[in-house]
Chain A
């Protein structure tokens, strides 16, 4: 009560003080956002003036992220208004694109760069207006990236042409900050935990840069849990707590201790050191090997203790948790577990809850998972078991039947703890479990953890909130993937943890880059070269069997039919580049072929119209898939029936004729080079050019990181349409080529292309995860695969084996890819 009264007073005073003095960049008034029963934001006011550096602090779940999402247009508030210097803006018209237009940029904690694009291309995504569809358009962005990086982080040594995926986390963070800072017309930059992965020097550089730009009138909102940084850099501080403004004022009036208290984290929340009652002989987990090499001795985790894992985010804490959970996974021999382990995830949406189930179902699965699969399930037994666990947790068992997603974050977390309790494992692993949990539940949670530990279990607790480490008996501090410090008892302080976290930041590069074994590199090269080796091998065999193949006429005869598959592959490649697969692309080519041999031949205008309509339907399919978020595979499989059905309806038996102009397109000759080779090369060139254009970069961006693209203001539905339109154009060209080459049409003529096109794209180096277009490799792959039939003929093998050979090649390729993939992603 008294606190909010104070806050009100302060706010009023501040408003009176600040309003007339500085020009306002943006102000939010009365922002309230509810998610079901919980209020993430309740009546928050925030006014940002030019040149302000606002330090935004608050515990996890205080509503910072929600407020910032609303500010950046990524979420709409339930109530409240937003206004800019010039005018009030209606939230209905406000979105990420509008926020960007108003000069608001946000640097997210989880990075929003496309890892498959270069640094310069990522700069392009943020400010596309300076790009043109001509060669050399990247120069502008290369220069801009260089300048921006040097302006914020002098001496960074980041190459503007480097693929972002090859940069370290700190380097990516630097790129992202520089990108936001360099945007023309930017007026406010929101930095969400910008220094979490930067070392001290870079952090200082960043703060120096902020100070300098703030003088020039740029505004910043700086979110950090490192309060020293906030005090150092901010001009004003806003403290959020449980979705409300707990305090707002000048930095001069703030102190670290005061801020901590305002955030609701009592300086000493649960420091109870439940000095373990169990004996040291009862070792449950032993850590050894390179992991503990910095300490020079093994670490043993015994019954009855809580061991905290600390360090900068991504320093190896999560890896250890998962290593303990499934010791066979990677770290051979460094983790030995002597008892069963349960896992409590903090990222409840992604790793914790089963969203279709009730609370009861979510709890009892913990015990079911450890029972034989053919055992019977009884609701009553489940309920009795869960009730025991829930009563310990003060989780109301009248809510057992509610869907888990209807519960608040804190109660969901309790259900997950209950799941671990019914599983009844001696070891419990906690992965940042209090993320997004309100303060009261947190206190409950700490108490509970103590009880669980005292009852004879070992808790291994990874947390990103340093204050929580005070609840642990021991803390292992990580840096660069290793344990660098062990703190126990009273030696556990936030400053000791932070100090140790930065112990050896340089070591990380060394360990990350050192893993590439020569064998793996060879394997990867082999995979990359597969289409070319395959093509060479096939051609060699065929020419040696029949030298006439090597003539211009022979090659044309052989390669012309490959052209259609090359075109379908080009189409499929764009779909695969968007991490989808089109199972109807071959049928679509067949339909176009039928249309061109019937309607287009008889009534050119009607035929052309029908072709355009088919193309529009095909592109529209892409829009539907994106807009409704439904699996492309099933939709395109359904569509393939439509294409085939249409084809049958138009032309029940093969026939028709190719229009003369169409045949002419494919039957000219230069005399000294086979026409087919020119055409195939032309297709590869066109794909290459599209891919290098700004449009191609955007499409690849969507294939890699759609969330980041949406944040940068790109429309996913529009680009899904464009992607399918491009694919449709290539597939149509394939259909036309079928008609021209066969001088007739058959609706089934394209069917076999569907699988082959996927195989060719994969063979050429495209990843089914999306984001990669590789025209030359895929074309070589397509040609190789289409020669399989002829090759089998040359070798006197029955054509019956055609399908099996193609299927086996695809399986073999994917196997090779999956065997080399792990290392590839670590590159």
Chain B
């Protein structure tokens, strides 16, 4: 009993554990029920999850800035970046540096544009990034026409799909990214400022935090990571196609929320995003193995997101319930009264 309460306290602070438990359980069930799951299929799942994790980490930074901020341009950035990579690298390792530089530049440019719209002009993040996404969609169409052939540089191909003694290189990249992000969030001033801005933006401003640059850097991180991910994803699938980034739109948000990052901002967990990415890929893979049509897969993903949010929404409400009797005008709405 004591251990149970201790765990529940601990799990409140370490919300990533739920996604980890989810992965473990689903994995166990699958390996017992079917005999098609093996260590090698796990490494395949981890490989797919690595791509999602990279986008998810970026999305997590944006979500953590609070006020319902979400980056809806990641899907277009991924697609466009894959095309840009094809155009710049042209399958030659010699051009790799140019390609990577182009991808980073693309991310920086889109991130700067998003920040300008959100921070500079005060446009709601959802609308601003959606609009940016549309502009990028045209750029993608244009680059699609300019493509001469689908060849991928061998070095990039190795990064995206190679293995080091069975472990996908991508997984190493993703896990080091997660480790670095965890460190930044926990042990750097930036991580603390980000959390403060996400929890209470007014209070952050009054504590002399320059909120604009903090929020802007979150958007820039998100775009750069999405762009790098597009580069690698393009190498992995050996080309690029329109709409290739589309699945990452909802999945990246789902990975963030499922992993235990608060959708209202202020608290992020990179490890949670990693486990949630694995869990999501596991769910999708399961659906494919069962033979569900693509439509049904969409439905399940949508339901998972709404369900998790509905649960998380409750949690955040409890946490943020006013404890102060004289908290000014923080009126308690009729629906939320505790007898």
Q: A-side interface residues toward B, CB under 8 Å? A: 33, 35-36, 38, 40, 60-61, 63, 65-66, 69, 73-76, 91-92, 95-97, 108-110, 243, 325, 340, 342-343, 345, 347-357, 361, 365-366, 368-377, 405-406, 408-409, 412, 419, 423, 425, 435-436, 581, 583, 621, 624, 627-631, 633-635, 637-642, 644-650, 652, 706-707, 710-711, 715-717, 755, 758-759, 762, 768, 800-808, 810-811, 814-815, 818-819, 821
- Asked if A349 contacts B297 (CB within 8 A), the reply is no
Known: A349-B322, A355-B199, A806-B134. 18 other contacts (CB 8 A): A35-B323, A95-B337, A353-B200, A355-B200, A355-B319, A369-B196, A423-B207, A583-B126, A628-B310, A629-B317, A630-B313, A635-B305, A641-B305, A706-B333, A707-B333, A716-B335, A717-B335, A807-B138
- Asked if B189 contacts A376 (CB within 8 A), the reply is yes
B305 to chain A, nearest CB (A): 4
- Residue on B with the closest CB to A747? B295
Q: Is B208 an interface residue (CB 8 A)?
A: yes
Stretch at the interface among B90-98, B166-174, B221-229, B324-332: B324-332
- Asked if A92 contacts B196 (CB within 8 A), the reply is no
- Asked if B68 contacts A633 (CB within 8 A), the reply is yes
B268 to chain A, nearest CB (A): 11
Residues of B within 8 A of A640 (CB): 302
- Asked if B131 contacts A811 (CB within 8 A), the reply is yes
Q: Is B139 an interface residue (CB 8 A)?
A: yes
Report Cα–Cα, A281/B257, bound state, in Å: 56
Report Cα–Cα, A356/B203, bound state, in Å: 13
Report Cα–Cα, A647/B207, bound state, in Å: 50
Stretch at the interface among B28-36, B117-125, B233-241: B117-125
Report Cα–Cα, A810/B127, bound state, in Å: 9
A206 to chain B, nearest CB (A): 22
Q: Scoring B residues 149 to 178 as 1 if CB is less than 8 Å from chain A, else 0, what string do you get?
A: 000000000000000000000000000000
- Asked if A69 contacts B332 (CB within 8 A), the reply is yes
Report Cα–Cα, A710/B187, bound state, in Å: 43
Residues of B within 8 A of A375 (CB): 188-189
Q: Is B45 an interface residue (CB 8 A)?
A: no
Q: Is B291 an interface residue (CB 8 A)?
A: no
Report Cα–Cα, A342/B205, bound state, in Å: 10
Q: Which of B133, B192, B303 contacts A377 (CB 8 A)?
A: B192
Report Cα–Cα, A372/B189, bound state, in Å: 7
- Asked if A96 contacts B334 (CB within 8 A), the reply is yes
- Asked if A409 contacts B324 (CB within 8 A), the reply is yes
Q: Which of A351, A361, A807 contacts B133 (CB 8 A)?
A: A807
Residues of B within 8 A of A36 (CB): 323
Residues of A within 8 A of B122 (CB): 818, 821
Residues of A within 8 A of B145 (CB): 800
Report Cα–Cα, A110/B295, bound state, in Å: 50
Q: Report, nearest first, the 3 A-B pairs whose CB atoms are least far apart.
A: A648-B295, A807-B134, A436-B326
Given the interface pairs A110-B329, A356-B267, A803-B135, the reply to whether A377 lies near B299 with Cβ below 8 Å is no
**Interfacial residues of chain B within 274-333, with CB under 8 A of chain A in the complex:** 293-306, 309-310, 312-314, 317, 319-320, 322-333
A317 to chain B, nearest CB (A): 16
- Asked if A639 contacts B203 (CB within 8 A), the reply is no
- Residue on B with the closest CB to A73? B334
Residues of B within 8 A of A821 (CB): 122
Q: Is B259 an interface residue (CB 8 A)?
A: no
- Asked if B68 contacts A638 (CB within 8 A), the reply is no
- Asked if A74 contacts B332 (CB within 8 A), the reply is yes
Residues of A within 8 A of B207 (CB): 343, 365-366, 369, 419, 423
- Asked if A627 contacts B335 (CB within 8 A), the reply is yes
- Residue on A with the closest CB to B130? A755
- Residue on A with the closest CB to B197? A354
- Residue on B with the closest CB to A370? B208
A100 to chain B, nearest CB (A): 12
Q: Which of A66, A108, A637, A645 contacts B295 (CB 8 A)?
A: A645
B201 to chain A, nearest CB (A): 10
Number of interface residues of B (CB under 8 A): 93
Can you report 26 residue pairs joining A to B where beta carbons are below 8 Å apart?
Answer: A33-B325, A65-B325, A65-B326, A66-B326, A69-B332, A108-B329, A110-B328, A345-B202, A348-B324, A354-B204, A356-B267, A361-B192, A371-B189, A377-B186, A377-B191, A627-B335, A629-B317, A631-B68, A631-B263, A631-B309, A645-B300, A706-B333, A715-B334, A807-B137, A811-B131, A811-B132
- Asked if A345 contacts B206 (CB within 8 A), the reply is yes
- Asked if A624 contacts B202 (CB within 8 A), the reply is no
Q: Scoring B residues 52 to 95 as 1 if CB is less than 8 Å from chain A, else 0, what string do you get?
A: 00000000000000001010000000000000000000000000
Residues of B within 8 A of A652 (CB): 293, 295
Given the interface pairs A343-B206, A435-B328, A646-B299, the reply to whether A581 lies near B127 with Cβ below 8 Å is yes
- Asked if A354 contacts B324 (CB within 8 A), the reply is no
- Asked if A63 contacts B325 (CB within 8 A), the reply is yes
A516 to chain B, nearest CB (A): 21
Q: Which of A340, A409, A648, A814 contacts B298 (CB 8 A)?
A: A648
Residues of B within 8 A of A408 (CB): 324
- Asked if B189 contacts A637 (CB within 8 A), the reply is no
Report Cα–Cα, A642/B254, bound state, in Å: 14
Report Cα–Cα, A625/B155, bound state, in Å: 47
- Asked if B202 contacts A803 (CB within 8 A), the reply is no
- Residue on A with the closest CB to B332? A75
- Asked if B193 contacts A368 (CB within 8 A), the reply is yes
B16 to chain A, nearest CB (A): 15
Report Cα–Cα, A482/B179, bound state, in Å: 54
Q: Which of A365, A369, A642, A707 contacts B303 (CB 8 A)?
A: A642
The CB with the most chain A CB atoms within 10 A, among B190, B193, B302, is that of B302
Given the interface pairs A36-B323, A109-B329, A368-B189, the reply to whether A354 lies near B302 with Cβ below 8 Å is no
- Asked if B195 contacts A356 (CB within 8 A), the reply is yes
- Asked if A630 contacts B303 (CB within 8 A), the reply is no
Residues of A within 8 A of B301 (CB): 638, 641, 645
Residues of B within 8 A of A581 (CB): 124, 126-127
Residues of B within 8 A of A74 (CB): 331-332, 334, 337
Report Cα–Cα, A124/B92, bound state, in Å: 72
- Asked if A350 contacts B202 (CB within 8 A), the reply is yes
Residues of A within 8 A of B250 (CB): 637-638, 641
Report Cα–Cα, A350/B303, bound state, in Å: 33
